[in-house]
Structure 1
Amino acid sequence: MDKSARLEHAPHRTFGRQEWASLRADMPLTLTEADLFRLRSLNDPISIDEVVTIYLPLSRLLSLYVAATQGLYNATRTFLGANEGKTPFIIGIGGSVAVGKSTAARVLKALLARWTNTPKVDLITTDGFLYPNAVLEREGLMERKGFPESYDLPALLSFLSDIKAGLGSVSAPVYSHLVYDIVPSERITIDRPDILIVEGINVLQAPRLPRDGTAVPFVSDFFDFSIYIDAEEADIRRWYVERFQRLRETAFQDPNSYFHRYAMVSDAEALAIADRLWSRINRVNLYENILPTRPRADLILSKGESHLIERVALRRL
């Protein structure tokens, strides 16, 4: 099969930056530079131009998907003769560490919440569903933190099931990046959002299915739309190392930081530590668990070396 035939039958249709930007139509820009400064993550140089070119067309697409999906939910309720209230539209965002998921999720949340019908939009990360460090240490999983087995999957599935059922005041654990652990005394409450964004490295992970046909729920079963943020491994590694160096100058300086010891070492030693952490942990997780989920996404945002999104791939219907 030649290349043109493969592209014709590919599950995703690919767009360049300008072709994608032309799909914005009349979707208004509702963010300012000041808004974007508050939303961007450390070492993620997103600009207003990137919002206009990539995120406004995406916001328009999602507005159409939300409207269509809500219509489908209403049709199903009518068929069943049920009156169960609204069903939240759930968006999953996955991809490697340091690829820019958190910034993308926050920007998208801000844009969606400013639609003309002002929907209630919430954002949650799967970090809160990591097992506490005490459990990970007991099970010998501290160096597997972020791998699928380090998450309390039943708790995450229960949370998403309650959200999708339209239950009110559904709570989730809180994770602190400062202390690198779950905060026992804190919970976050999500109360019947119109849209919920779920961000995490393994949100598109599909477990091995049992041969006897037993139902095994996936996290992504609860998603109405999924996004994977992609980049070449060499670029992600560089961004990871650069972020690690920036954190040494900022968050790691706090004596309460789990990683405070890294602020005390030399620059050369810190670079070696970051390289080692990437190679031994994050690179392995990328190739074993994260990258294989990319084809499952409804939308793939592919970044170049400057963090700009160069290509957008949208799943064909």
Structure 2
Amino acid sequence: MLPLSLIFLSCFALVNAGSANRGENCTQSNSRLQTGTFQFFSDCNSVTYCAANGTCALKGCRKDDFPFGYTGNTRVPDKCGRGEFCPDEADACLPLLAVGSACQLNRDDQCEGPPNFVELRDTTNRGLNFNGSVCLNNKCMWANKTAGNTCTVENTAYIAYGPSGEFIDIVSRGDCVVGLYCDSASKQCMKEKALGAACTADKECSSWNCLSTGTCGTDTSVPRHVGTWVYVIVAIGIFGGIFGTLTGLFLLHRRQRDQEREKRMQYWREQNAFHQNLLQMRQTARASILSPGNGNSPRSTMYGRDGMHSDEAPILQHAAPKGSGLRHYMGDDSSEYDEGMMMQPSKRGDDNRF
């Protein structure tokens, strides 16, 4: 859950901050640094500034490589040349300020550098100074104080936000040379502390990282190196996971294949048994048809007269020449699947009776 102060400040910024466009009215006295963030605020939007006539005008310079608020087809103002700086208002480029001149917060680039700026400038990319000059307490100074000398310190409290809510982050700066820090209590330049030494602020450590335990920790920008055994364990885990996955899939698919194979075998056994039954039925039918009659078949005694007395033979109307009442046709094309028998009745004379 966001802190109430952050929600209040966000709503206030959405309603009042930077809403005036070019040519609209503004008040220069409203220009200020926001509480907690110290970001410059004015009545005008991000591409205009509040001019002396009380209206918003287009900015005349910029200090950022990629300024905020400009679209693709909008002209971006130029950056200032050597010996000049662009103020927070971004109205026009101004000449660098001499030592002792008033400057804006954290605008070390507004101050003129010392003659030996090459020796004094910050090369650590930590923002300790700009070409050997520093703006402390809104005053231009040179960062040339050595160990044991009296120094100037500036403590700025910023509002920071974390998972547990908001907290105060104090940034302390001084005018000591690189490698020294200005002690807030004694106001003297002291040598930065090594790794593991006791500390109370980040500026006291050469790594600029004072841990919550009160000791100097490693630089947060330094890449962390791990032992070879870590890479070995990670590699084993990766390849073990790959082979484990492949083995699991193989076993799962093999079980499915075995189940499908068992289904096919069962189906084949059922079809084979059915086929054997059909063959047995066909062989039985063939044997019964091809075997000679012994006079015991009811069908043969119904139509046959051989071996019977004349008084036991049935009376036939329109007696035809002696012959069988059924003609048997056997087809055998040497195929055990196509054997068949077709029985056709003999033609009878039409005696005009139903």
Please indicate, yes or no, whether the TM-score normalized by the shorter chain is above 0.5. no
Higher relative contact order (Cα pairs below 8 Å, separated by 6+ residues)? 1
TM-score in terms of structure 2 length: 0.20
Q: TM-score, normalised by structure 1?
A: 0.22
More helix by share: 1
